[in-house]
Amino acid sequence: MTKERILIVEDEEDILELVRYNLAREGYDVIEASSGEEGLSKARSKKPDLVLLDLMLPELDGLEVCKRLRQDDEMVNMPIVMLTAKGEESDIVAGLELGADDYITKPFSPKVLIARVRAVLRRGSAVPASEDQTLSIHNVVINPGRHEVLVDGEPVSLTYTEFKVLHYLARRPGWVFTRYQIVDAVRGEHYPVTERSVDVQIVGLRKKLGDAGEYVETVRGVGYRFREE
């Protein structure tokens, strides 16, 4: 079976070697770039299945590379995982809002690296649930047509906004969404939602879901996700 091709865009040789070695050992086809411009060029020519993208790069930084990849019709859906120095929360948020799929903080465990790469590749091959499709994940069933949520078969009464937030997160389990992305997805003319109020909605949502509320996970400094099965 042909393994996926992964492009590493990283200018620090020791990190590049660590990532290259561990991905190759797992059987992935690895290609490399040491600058933002080279990364863009190889992404266009080699069409990798996933890009591991450092944020601090010469010529073009990782955020600009991510932005340009998402603006290119041929690469708009190419999975992107950011490599970022620990604590760069503002960069993580900016990257996710530009369209990155996930992030890995430095220093990182090779096992964590492989697990995150596999998870993103798996998500990329999965088709997200449609807006009107009934979702069943863990012990939670979400029926958009009926505006109904069941936990262990028992109905849970949610407000319009709580329901929209839950449905938005659950359609892409495992994906991290920033508060801005959640606001953008759920707000409407008659339902004003702000980044600050997202936290309030999450608190109320978890409380109403009971033990199932633990599936709505906080990603510190970034946003929220619904836990994968």
Q: Which residue has the higher pLDDT, 195 or 208?
A: 208
Which pLDDT belongs to residue 49? 93
Judged by average pLDDT, the poorest of 27-36, 43-52, 171-180, 204-213 is: 171-180
- Classify domain 135-226 by CATH number: 1.10.10.10
Which pLDDT belongs to residue 189? 46
pTM: 0.70
Which pLDDT belongs to residue 73? 85
% of residues, the chain, pLDDT over 70: 91
Give span(s): CATH 1.10.10.10, the chain: 135-226
Confidence of residue 125 (pLDDT cuts 50, 70, 90): low
Which pLDDT belongs to residue 124? 67
- Per-residue pLDDT of 78-88, as tens digits, reads 999 999 886 67
Q: What share of the chain is helix, strand, coil (3-state, %, to 5)?
A: 45, 25, 35
* Burial classification of residue 39, based on how many CB atoms lie within 10 Å of its CB (0-12 exposed, 13-18 middle, 19 or more buried): buried
Q: In degrees rounded to 5, what are phi and psi of residue 100?
A: -65, 150
For residue 128, is pLDDT > 60?
no
Which pLDDT belongs to residue 86? 66
- Per-residue pLDDT of 27-67, as tens digits, reads 999 999 999 999 999 999 999 999 999 999 988 999 999 99
Handedness of CA 80, 86, 91, 96 (dihedral sign): positive
Give span(s): CATH 3.40.50.2300, the chain: 5-125
Q: Are strands 29-33 and 5-9 parallel, antiparallel or unpaired?
A: parallel
Tokens representing 39 are: 């990364």
Question: ω before 107 within 30° of 0 (cis)?
Answer: yes
Which pLDDT belongs to residue 126? 59
* In 107-229, beta strands by DSSP E: 135-137, 140-143, 148-151, 154-156, 177-178, 216-219, 223-226
Mean pLDDT, the chain, integer: 88
Query: Which among 204, 187, 215, 209 has a CA at the least distance from the CA of 225?
Result: 215
Judged by average pLDDT, the poorest of 2-6, 156-160, 168-172 is: 2-6
Q: Which residue has the higher pLDDT, 200 or 191?
A: 200
- Classify domain 5-125 by CATH number: 3.40.50.2300
**N-terminal to C-terminal alpha carbon distance within the chain:** 26
For residue 162, is pLDDT > 60?
yes
For residue 186, is pLDDT > 50?
yes
Q: What is the dihedral of CA 8, 30, 40, 64, to 10 degrees?
A: -20
For residue 179, is pLDDT > 50?
yes
